[in-house]
Amino acid sequence: MTTQTTVPETPSTPAATTPSGLIGGIPPTVARALATGGGILAVVSTFLAWTWTAEFPGDLTVYGYPGGLQVLVLIGGILTTLFALSSYQVKGLRWLTPAGADGALKLAALGTFATAWYTVLAISAKLGGLVNLEPGGWLVAVATLVSVTGAAALPFERPEPEPFDPDDTGWETYRHQVRHGIAILRAAVASGTPTPARRLPAYAEILVIVAAMALGLIVFTYGIGTEYDQLFIGFLITVGFCFAALAKSGLISRISAITARHRVITMAGAFIAAALFPFTQSDDQYATIGVYILIFATVALGLNIVVGLAGLLDLGYVAFLGVGAYTAALVSGSPASPLHVQLPFWASALLGGAVAMVFGVIIGAPTLRLRGDYLAIVTLGFGEIFRVTVLNLDGTSGPDITNGSNGISSIPNLNILGFDFGQEHNILGFTIARFANYFLLMLLITLIVVVVFRRSSDSRIGRAWVAIREDETAALAMGINGFRVKLIAFALGATLAGLAGAVQAHVTYTVTPEQYQFAHVVPPNSAFLLAAVVLGGMGTISGPLVGAALLYLIPAKLQFLGNYQLFAFGLALVLLMRFRPEGLIPNRRRQLEFHEDAEAPTVLSKTGA
């Protein structure tokens, strides 16, 4: 009797199917060609005149040299072209798109289109019609339209090959695995997804970190220095879409992984880049915004300990900033201070932090046994109690300590070791004025707060905070003293806020109760501080710093909107939370919570970026 052996049928290599994009009927090769050509033409158009008169801000009448909004379109066009070439698997560009080029190409093309058409419409509205456009204006409108059309026609999803049969054995299994690998490579090429890049040498990774820090300094300086309203709006459009495109391409994650491997170098590079900011300014105008951003960011980072690590919703945190500011103002030698005491800065700063810590313990001891919404309501009440109390300590409703609504004024400038922060100084041939001096001082304090945050989050108490944040009941069952852990977080956050408040008192010359409300048009206040933490990314270091910079810079630049300022600002926050709820620079754990389908990282970061 002959036994017949049945050989399993070898599946054929799966064909790479191409799902249709937003615009159907255009083959992917043609779509990429349109996106690439449109990006190149957009770059070319920035070297042509877009209008015939210099009445439009930025002087877009020059041939051969981009200016104003043309610079932003140039950046968007270059990024669009790079992503388009990367989708063709051009050697040397595949490193830019570890997660695929098509999605990033769509966002880059859309951002370039939005900036270009905003400029064209702004020219028409200001000068009185499209007739005021020169050939460059028409070319950029058509080129960006072609580019975004081609990008929109690309497939939404990456084609994936069918998995091999796990029941196959022996030679058939080996042959099928080989075919499976070939199919993956073909699908990657068809979808524009590059193969994984090799790890760079250490010196190359350090160069990448330096380049990232330099780019961050350039973007920050450019955003602060925008001279007119149209340029700032174009800046927001370009930066928003470019950041989204870089995140979609996976480049942000790749750079974050590199910085995580070189944390000390990254921190030192960021500190040096920030310290160079005052030297990029010709006057003290924008250094003023810079020092206020640092004060706001430092307080937000302290709040991040309470909210981001320990998970305690504190709506009255700005009161601790006020406690530190009033304490420093009372012992600063101000003629309006009833104490008539003048301590050196280090003593007033430590005293401000210590008094804020005491208030944090006093307020936290009876309230931290509450959870969730109840804790938020109590802390909100504490913030209002502080404001009303300093308002009533005017000598009429209560003791004469804070001068009531008039506050404590005429706070003298700092003088540390003979260095007067109120005077101009020449450093390496650069003139550093008053606010630049305070910027460098506040930068040093920010560095101290960053070190405290990092050391705390990586410690045993930091892990206990995270456990309390994730599940307090489970943490208590594992033996964590929840009340003590939360009280330490509350006291440490209050101390950091008080330290920043001591500097704020000298920067602003005057401290008044109106500066420390829950919600106010001008930050910092409790609502903006909480928004900075959530917007930037809870539980991270760089997240609140970036969120605070945006939340201070955007309202300062949107004052031309008048009554619609907060409406536009709120709308921007709603859109950002809709499309990136985990924050701009999210903690890896929170990123997985908001995106369940995301691939888990190899190592979960404790503090994020």
pLDDT of residue 607: 42
Residues 6+ apart with CB under 8 A from 236: 554
Find out whether 144 and 137 touch, Cβ atoms under 8 Å.
no
pLDDT of residue 160: 41
Enumerate the domain spans of the chain: 28-158+193-252, 285-556
**Binned average pLDDT, 10 residues per bin, the chain of 609 residues:** 43 44 75 91 93 87 89 93 85 79 90 94 89 91 93 67 43 50 49 54 86 87 85 90 89 86 86 85 77 88 88 86 91 85 88 92 85 83 88 81 85 83 79 85 89 86 88 87 89 91 88 79 73 84 85 78 74 78 73 54 42
CA distance 79 to 106: 11
Question: DSSP states of 168-195 as a string?
Answer: --HHHHHHHHHHHHHHHHHHHHHHTPPP
CA distance 413 to 420: 7
pLDDT of residue 37: 93
Q: Which tens digits make up the pLDDT trace of 359-376?
A: 999 888 888 888 777 888
Find out whether 331 and 502 touch, Cβ atoms under 8 Å.
no
pLDDT of residue 190: 47
Backbone torsions φ then ψ of 520, nearest 5 degrees: -150, 155
Q: What are 425's strand-pairing partners?
A: 432
pLDDT of residue 189: 46
pLDDT of residue 596: 53
pLDDT of residue 182: 52
pTM of the model: 0.77
pLDDT of residue 289: 84
Backbone torsions φ then ψ of 259, nearest 5 degrees: -65, -30
pLDDT of residue 15: 40
pLDDT of residue 8: 43
Backbone torsions φ then ψ of 566, nearest 5 degrees: -70, -30
Class of domain 285-556: mainly alpha
Backbone torsions φ then ψ of 516, nearest 5 degrees: -125, 50
CA distance 510 to 403: 11
Find out whether 20 and 155 touch, Cβ atoms under 8 Å.
yes
Burial 547-581 (b: 16+ CB within 10 A, else e): bbbbbbbbbbbbeeeeeebeeebeebbeebeeebe
pLDDT of residue 589: 66
